[in-house]
Structure 1
Amino acid sequence: MTAAIRVAVIDDHPLFREGVTRSLSEIDGFEIVAEGSSAEDALRIAEQLNPHIMLMDISMPGGGLNAIPLILAKAPLQKIVMLTVSEASDDVTAALGHGAKGYVLKGIGSRALADVIRTVASGESYVTPTLSAKLLSSRSHASANQFELVASLTSREQEVLQLVASGMSNKLIARKLDLQEKTVKHHMTQIMTKLGVTNRTEAAMVWRDAIDQRGQ
């Protein structure tokens, strides 16, 4: 039996926090190990309890964005998912830049949130697709030619990225290319670093932009 994913929920709205806690507790495979309402709580919980995933709001005492680098300085392996109402590109960019592994809007359903947590716990990143698209559309194409970025990837990395853009999971890609799943994850890490993106959705969009550029 697979061990439960240990989750901490940090939000200064008790009713919302209790709702998230209760919803996840009712889904198999999750264990709520702590709740908190401030950046100080988040730092203490990360240090003392080492949850697999920390769900954290931006707007709370001490500031969620400010808390990210403090938490990672004390617990470098802590995976943080921002769960917030903010759709501001600056907030998304800041959160991911500080080291958060996920960014999700509070309107998400409990089952979808559970899927996001599983995704991040497995070592991948996740950003609500509408926000990823917004981020990419706001970037100046002049700052980085998408075709040149993709051309900088190795042939294997391009092969993996093409399959990601087609919608395949790491597990399916590993099976198709006869690789270990951890090898595919390593390739994805390298791909995202070279492309300057933070998640699979953005990487796939860069690939599609590059294909469009090549076809012009």
Structure 2
Amino acid sequence: MIAGRRVLVVDDHPVVRRGLRAMLESESWVATVTEAATVAEAVRAATVGPVHLIAMDVGLPDGDGIDAAGRILRAAPGTRVLILTMDDDESVVDRALRAGAHGFLLKDTDPELVVDSLRTVAGGGVVLGPRTAGALLTGMRAAPARVPAPFDRLSEREREVVTRLTAGESNAQIARRLGLSEKTVRNQLSLIFSKLGVTDRLRVALLARDAGLR
């Protein structure tokens, strides 16, 4: 069980920062919560003192939150970052994942789900909201006429799992849709990650995007 996480909330709106801070401070796995309103404040806070988890907005007064996340992750690679923004444009999602973010959620997501997602990211997991996945991989099909590399290494069932994964579905949802147990889905995902040479769901989504799966 995760515990003692130091969290940094980066947003230029005080109400957003303080609201998320109030929710996080009631969580048993959170040790401290600090705030930043600019890129400069965020980079300083994350590189001067240890920060385990960052909730990062994109549009900040002095720059871009995704660029800031990339700088922080290069300086402190153990930091976990969840991008939390109102912008679900495909290019923004793409940039965030390429910068190394471990998750991407829209600000209008239910607050409790935001906290749950932050907990998941803090614990080493990844989060890609359904609407975000849709922006990234609109219309992806499980078995196109010609399957591009490296997805040609996968079986038809494994490609079905990838399709559901990139649509933002959880393991439980994938299991229900495909008539499998959650344990089977977890095992298949491990095998898929190994075949594709990736470590998590977000990298699968990026790989599918680059492969032109539409």
TM-score scaled by structure 2? 0.71
* Aligned partner (choices 146, 168, 171) of residue 168 of structure 1: 171
Q: How many pairs are equivalent? A: 195
Distance in 1, matches of 2:49 and 2:170, equals 35
- 8 Å contact kept, 2:86–2:107: yes
Find the aligned partners of 2:141 and 2:188 in 1 and give their Cα distance.
Answer: 29
1:36 CA drift (Å) = 0.6
Aligned pairs (5 A) from 1:54-69: 54-60=54-60, 61-69=62-70
**Could you tell me whether the CA contact under 8 Å between 1:39 and 1:63 is conserved in 2?**
yes
User: After the TM superposition, which residues 89-168 of structure 1 pair with which residues of structure 2 at under 5 Å, given as runs?
Assistant: 89-137=90-138, 145-146=146-147, 149-153=150-154, 158=158, 167-168=170-171
Alignment partners' CA distance in 2, 1:33 and 1:185: 33
SS at match of 1:130: helix
Unpaired segments ≥5 residues, structure 1: 211-216
Shift of 1:57: 0.5
Contact 2:23-2:115 at 8 Å conserved across structures:
no
Report the alpha carbon displacement of residue 3 of structure 1 after superposing the two structures with TM.
1.8
Q: CA RMSD in A?
A: 4.2
* Matched letter for residue 42 of structure 1: A
Q: CA deviation at 1:192?
A: 5.9
Distance change (3 Å), C-alpha of 1:167 and 1:71: closer
**Structure 2 counterpart of 1:100, which letter?**
A
Distance (whole Å) between structure 2 residues aligned to residue 186 and residue 84 of structure 1? 30
Q: Provide the C-alpha distance between the structure 1 equivalents of 2:134 and 2:31, rounded to a whole number of angstroms.
A: 32
> Would you tell me which structure has more helix in proportion to its own residues?
1
Cα distance, 1:5–1:29 mapped onto 2, change above 3 Å? same
TM-score by length of 1: 0.70
Unaligned runs of 5+ in 2: none
Q: Distance in 2 between matches of 1:88 and 1:168?
A: 25
Q: Structure 1 pair 176/83, CA: closer, same or farther in 2 (3 Å)?
A: closer
Closer, same or farther: CA 184–119 of 1 in aligned 2, 3 Å: farther
**Structure 1: how far apart are the matches of 2:198 and 2:14?**
41
Contact 1:192–1:199 (Cα < 8 Å) also in 2: no
After superposition, what is the alpha-carbon deviation per residue over 1:8-44, rounded to whole angstroms, capped at 9, x for unaligned? 1011111111111011212332233321111112211
Equivalent residues in 2 for 1:1-216, closer than 5 Å: 2-60=2-60, 61-137=62-138, 145-146=146-147, 149-153=150-154, 158=158, 167-168=170-171, 176=183, 189-190=193-194, 193=197, 198=202, 202=205
Identical positions, percent:
26
User: For residues 59-97 of structure 1, what are the alpha-carbon distances to aligned partners after superposition, in whole Å with 9 as ceiling and x for unaligned?
Assistant: 002210221221122111211111111111111111111
Alpha carbons of structure 1 residues 63 and 147: separation in structure 2 relative to 1, 3 Å: closer
What code does the residue aligned with 2:123 have? Answer: S
Q: Is the 8 A contact 1:54 1:78 kept in 2?
A: yes
Letter in 1 for 2:14: P
